[in-house]
Amino acid sequence: MACSPHNAVRPMHQCAYDNFDKIHDRNIGIIARDTILSSFYVDDFLVSCSTVEGAITLASNIDNILTAGRFKLRKWNSNSATVLTHMGRDSSPTEYSIDAALTSVLGLRWSPVDDNLLFKVELKQPGGICTKPSVLSEVAKLFDPTGFLSPVVVVGKIFIQTLWSAGIDWDTPPTTELRGNLA
pLDDT in tens, 38-86: 998 777 888 989 999 999 999 999 999 999 999 988 878 888 888 888 8
CA distance 26 to 54: 16
* Confidence check: pLDDT of 112 > 50: yes
pLDDT at 123: 67
Mean pLDDT of 103-110: 77
Whole-structure pTM over 0.85, yes or no?
A: no
Q: Are 45 and 39 in contact (CB under 8 A)?
A: yes
Question: When comparing pLDDT for 90 and 6, which is higher?
Answer: 6
For residue 139, pLDDT over 80 is answered with: yes
Q: What are phi and psi of 45, to 5 degrees?
A: -115, 120
HEC sequence for 115-179 = CEEECCCCCCCECECCCHHHHHHHHHCCCCCCCCCHHHHHHHHHHHHHHHHCCCCCCCCCCHHHH
Question: Which residues lie below 8 Å from residue 182, measured CB to CB, with a gap of 6+?
Answer: 155, 159
Q: Mean pLDDT for the chain?
A: 82
Quick one: which of 56, 57, 68 has its CA closest to 25?
57
Q: At what angle do helices 52-68 and 26-39 cross, to 10 degrees?
A: 80
Helices (H), 21-116: 26-39, 52-68, 81-87
Residue 1 confidence (pLDDT) above 70: yes
